[in-house]
Amino acid sequence: MVEVEIKIQVDKEMWTIVKERVQKIGGQVIIEKEEHDIYFNSPSKDFIESDEALRIRKDVEGVRLTYKGPKIDKETKTRDEVEITINSFEKGIELLERLGFTPVRPVVKNRTIFRLEDIYISLDYIEELGYFIELEKKSEEKDVSRAITELKNIITVLNLNDYPWIRESYLELLIEKDRKKRPISR
């Protein structure tokens, strides 16, 4: 199973408008929550270079350990994903650190998730980054292009065609922002 995902950054005003539009087209709120993610890097390879991700997420729904493989197309954030539920955020972190994985950076987000049939629309506010819309659909690898077409149709309905898609993860965007903030040493 792969996760087909399109991400768009918007300002607060457009984020509010999209929220209203999603409700008008029948999107049902699944949950509103705060997510705390810690991303890890592998002791044997650099996940940024290999375009992979490993994270532990804690929210009101519990704690999950997720591995995301490299992006599999040039247009979206479509990736193979493996996720398991664990019972302790702290013990999960401890286990990964004992295995040699190093924490990279936390990502904190406020997220409202809507469901529109089998498509999930997340309205996210990321601390330090701002407002984003994520459209996601789970798909068999052979059906990725059909899933992308379905997500593009929703983007059109939500009047978001003029907004560029972002292929970087929130972690990548935060790392880039941190890099730009660092003073240049001479």
Q: What are the residue ranges of helices labelled H in the chain?
A: 12-24, 47-50, 89-98, 144-157, 170-181
| 39 a catalytic residue | yes
Cα 91 from chain centre: 23
Confirm if 17 and 72 have CB atoms less than 8 A apart: no
Distance from C-alpha of 64 to C-alpha of 66, rounded to nearest angstrom: 6
Catalytic residue among 39, 120, 131, 170: 39
Distance from C-alpha of 123 to C-alpha of 19, rounded to nearest angstrom: 7
Would you call 185 helix, strand, or coil by DSSP? coil
Distance from C-alpha of 159 to C-alpha of 133, rounded to nearest angstrom: 12
- Show which residues are catalytic: 39
